[in-house]
Amino acid sequence: MTATISDTLLNWYDKNARTLPWRNPPGAARPSDDAWPYRVWLSEVMLQQTTVAAVKPYFEKFTRVWPTVFDLAKASDDDVMAAWAGLGYYSRARNLVKCARVVAERGGFPETEADLLKLPGLGAYTAAAISSIAFGHRAVVVDANVERVVSRLFNIDEPLPGARKAIRAQAETITPQSRAGDFAQSMMDLGSQICTSKVPRCLLCPVSNVCEGRSTGEPERLPVKPPKKAKPERRGAAFWIEREGSVWLVKRPGTGMLGGMRGLPDDGWSARSDGSGEAPLQGDATSLGAVRHTFTHAHLTLELHAIEGAAPPQGEGEWWPLDTLEEAGLPTLFAKAARLALARD
Q: Is residue 109 part of a domain?
A: yes
Q: Is residue 75 part of a domain?
A: yes
The answer on 135 and 44 residing in a single domain is yes
The pLDDT assigned to 272 comes to 45
CATH code of 283's domain: 3.90.79.10
Q: Is residue 294 part of a domain?
A: yes
Measured CA to CA, the distance from residue 252 to residue 290 in angstroms comes to: 20
The pLDDT assigned to 73 comes to 97
Q: Is residue 227 part of a domain?
A: no
Q: How confident is the model at residue 84 (pLDDT cuts 50, 70, 90)?
A: very high
Which residue among 192, 221, 250 closes a domain? 221
The pLDDT assigned to 345 comes to 59
**Mean pLDDT along residues 135-152:** 96
The pLDDT assigned to 307 comes to 86
The answer on 166 and 279 residing in a single domain is no
C-alpha angle 267/269/273, rounded to 5°? 135
Q: Is residue 228 part of a domain?
A: no
The answer on 50 and 195 residing in a single domain is yes
**Mean pLDDT along residues 65-83:** 95
Render pLDDT for 229-242 as a digit per residue (tens, 0 to 9).
888 999 999 999 99
Q: Is residue 23 part of a domain?
A: yes
Which residue among 221, 243, 262 closes a domain? 221
The answer on 270 and 141 residing in a single domain is no
Q: Which helix (H) or strand (E) covers residue 317, if one does? A: strand 317-321
- Catalytic, 44? Answer yes
274, 265 contact by CB (below 8 A) = no
- What's the number of domains the chain is made of? 2
Which residue among 221, 241, 270 closes a domain? 221
Q: Is residue 226 part of a domain?
A: no
Q: How confident is the model at residue 33 (pLDDT cuts 50, 70, 90)?
A: confident
The pLDDT assigned to 314 comes to 65
The pLDDT assigned to 120 comes to 92
- The one-character DSSP state at 73 is H
Measured CA to CA, the distance from residue 78 to residue 81 in angstroms comes to: 5
The answer on 325 and 196 residing in a single domain is no
The answer on 144 and 49 residing in a single domain is yes
Phi, psi (deg, nearest 5) at residue 58: -70, -40
The pLDDT assigned to 2 comes to 56
Render pLDDT for 334-343 as a digit per residue (tens, 0 to 9).
999 999 999 8
**Mean pLDDT along residues 60-72:** 97
Q: How confident is the model at residue 228 (pLDDT cuts 50, 70, 90)?
A: confident
The answer on 125 and 210 residing in a single domain is yes
201, 16 contact by CB (below 8 A) = no
Residue 270 has pLDDT above 60, yes or no: no
The answer on 297 and 156 residing in a single domain is no
The pLDDT assigned to 273 comes to 42
- Lowest model confidence (mean pLDDT) among 27-41, 87-101, 179-193, 299-313: 299-313
Position with higher pLDDT, 318 vs 257: 318
**Mean pLDDT along residues 51-71:** 96
**Mean pLDDT along residues 292-309:** 88
Measured CA to CA, the distance from residue 203 to residue 213 in angstroms comes to: 13
Render pLDDT for 311-330 as a digit per residue (tens, 0 to 9).
766 667 899 999 999 888 89
The pLDDT assigned to 99 comes to 97
- Identify the three-state secondary structure at position 306: strand
Task: Give the closest residue to 306 by CA, choosing from 236, 226, 211, 241.
Answer: 241
Q: Is residue 274 part of a domain?
A: yes
The answer on 215 and 80 residing in a single domain is yes
State the DSSP string of 195-252: S-SSS--GGG-TTGGG-HHHHTT-GGG-S--PPPPPPPEEEEEEEE-EETTEEEEEEP
Position with higher pLDDT, 345 vs 227: 227
- Could you list the residue range(s) of the whole structural domain that residue 130 is in? 2-221
Measured CA to CA, the distance from residue 94 to residue 117 in angstroms comes to: 17
* Sign (positive or negative) of CA dihedral 195, 197, 202, 203: negative
CATH code of 170's domain: 1.10.340.30
Measured CA to CA, the distance from residue 37 to residue 32 in angstroms comes to: 9
Render pLDDT for 87-121 as a digit per residue (tens, 0 to 9).
988 889 999 999 999 999 999 999 999 999 999 99
